[in-house]
Chains A and B, each alone.
Chain A
Amino acid sequence: MNKIIQMNFAGQAISIDEQAYDTLRNYLQSLENHFRNTSSGSEILEDIETRLADLFMGKTKASNAFITQKDVDEAIKLMGTPADMGIDEEESEKSSNASYEKLGKKFFRDGEDKVLGGVCSGLGAYLNVDVSVIRIITILLVFFGGLSVVPYFILWAVLPEAKTAQDRFRMHGETPNINDIASNIRNEANQVANNLKKNPDVNSAVNTIGEIINRIVKWFSKLFGAGMLTILVVAGVLLGTVLIANATGNLQANINGSHFSAPQLFDSSSLNWLFSISLLSNVLIPIGAMCYAIVQFIFNLANPINFKAVFMAWLFSLAVFIGVSFFAAKELNYEKLYELRDQIEEIDRV
């Protein structure tokens, strides 16, 4: 017993037996892989699909109500395997080789071998050094004043993850061998097939009025985004000034004629710095991420940063801030705080 599937194939409604459907899908996938590097490969695929649909329609009109495995096998035999379609072989081989050579080695994050974000394994692949060595150095550097922490989070946020087979080969900088890629491609092919399955008939017709409304809404949200961006930047700069001033001890102002000099919270200057910077990054990281997202949205940029990495960086700075606060609570300079309170009261009186 076999299920019958109703499919939209090259714009035609065709009933097909489940097993035959799977065969057909695999066949089309192999063609897609074959023409991947050929210019106008999608057009060739379209032509082939149209022709197959034509053949199938002939079958369903003539005798069977649906397409069977035998029909698909016959059609594939008539159409030929990807290897038979080697007319453009030289051209596509040349171009694919050239593109691999031209692409060369690239710095990726390795998502398949990661502890946090795969930065170390990516760096190892890039430098041809064993990952463990990189990891040990990274961890040692954390204890040398946290030297590796900030670069790590920045790399995590900025570096792309090696996702496709091609990415992974570029990450290792090897010239890919067709047999090596084959297995990788098979995995990718399955993913693509799943995506296709989820989305079998996308209606590409665009409703004009809907489109116009869509655009207006988009423009307004972009304007709103620009406003938000301004507010966020101003708030960030103000807060930054105050906290840096706490660190350097240089915040002075004249408010309503009375002189205002902000005292430092702690006696120890390194504590002032740590406190200010950790608090500042606690606030600035989310603000920065929001600004970045807004800019991406306004200018339609297609390279989103890795928010997971940003979030981890934020958690880290939060942990540092909490740690510093606990340690610093007993170091608080109460005298100076009272001084600050007196100053503020004086300003209030005036």
Chain B
Amino acid sequence: MNVENTQSQMRKGILEYCILALIGKGEVYSSDIISNLKEAKLIVVEGTLYPLLTRLKNAGLLNYEWKESDQGPPRKYYSLTETGTIFKEQLQTTWQELTESVTNITQTK
């Protein structure tokens, strides 16, 4: 039992919700998602994200669109599907409940 393992489990749990929330704000390029997640210390390297995005896309939660870029290859811009939006909202509710109850539990009386 080490603390790092538990910490990374906690982060993993909310990663999908955060990705959906970020994409929910509007069409985004994967490196935008990455810089946001990095800032929040939710991921360390970019590579973590690609398998997740593919999985969410295969589950029908995400859509993407190719857009030309001025410097390199065309980029995939992601957006939420209808299912994805509902999914995100459900997670949002859970997250809110969770933060409330966790705050309650950990509060010093």
Contacts and interface: CB of A to CB of B under 8 A. Distances in A.
Contacts of B74: 50
A88 B72 contact: no
Given A57-B73, A58-B72, A48 B47 contact: yes
Contacts of B30: 47, 51
A39 B30 CA distance: 20
Indicate the member of B53, B55, B75, B76 with the most A CB atoms within 10 Å. B55
Nearest to B49: A87
A315 interface: no
Interface string B52-77: 11110010000000000101111110
Contacts of B54: 40, 43-44, 47
A134 interface: no
Given A39-B58, A54-B72, A54-B75, A47 B45 contact: no
Contacts of B46: 51, 78-80
A222 to B, nearest CB: 38
Contacts of B52: 87-88
A249 to B, nearest CB: 70
A12 B46 CA distance: 21
A57 B51 contact: no
A11 B53 CA distance: 22
Contacts of B71: 54, 57-58, 61
Contact of B51 (A11, A50, A61, A87): A87
Contact of B44 (A39, A50, A84): A84
Could you say which interface size class chain B belongs to?
A: 20 to 34
Nearest to B12: A87
Interface in A13-72: 31, 35, 38-40, 43-44, 47-48, 50-51, 53-54, 56-58, 61
Contacts of A44: 50-51, 54
Contacts of A40: 54, 58
B12 A53 contact: no
B90 to A, nearest CB: 21
A38 B48 CA distance: 14
B45 A88 contact: no
A84 B48 contact: yes
A85 interface: yes
B50 A48 contact: yes
B63 to A, nearest CB: 14
Interface string B20-59: 0000000000110000000000001111101111110010
A88 B48 CA distance: 9
A10 interface: yes
Nearest to A56: B72
A78 B48 contact: no
Contacts of B58: 39-40
Given A51-B31, A87-B52, A11 B47 contact: no
Interface string A75-91: 00111111011111000
A79 B73 contact: no
A53 B72 contact: yes
Given A12-B72, A54-B69, 7 more contacts: A31-B47, A47-B30, A47-B54, A57-B71, A79-B46, A81-B47, A85-B51
Q: Closest 9 A-B residue pairs measured CB to CB? A: A80-B45, A57-B72, A80-B47, A54-B72, A85-B47, A47-B50, A79-B47, A88-B51, A84-B45
26 contacts: A12-B73, A35-B51, A38-B51, A44-B54, A47-B50, A48-B47, A48-B50, A50-B73, A50-B75, A50-B76, A51-B31, A51-B46, A51-B50, A54-B69, A54-B75, A57-B72, A57-B73, A80-B46, A80-B48, A81-B45, A84-B44, A84-B47, A85-B48, A86-B48, A87-B55, A88-B52
Interface of A: 10-12, 31, 35, 38-40, 43-44, 47-48, 50-51, 53-54, 56-58, 61, 77-82, 84-88
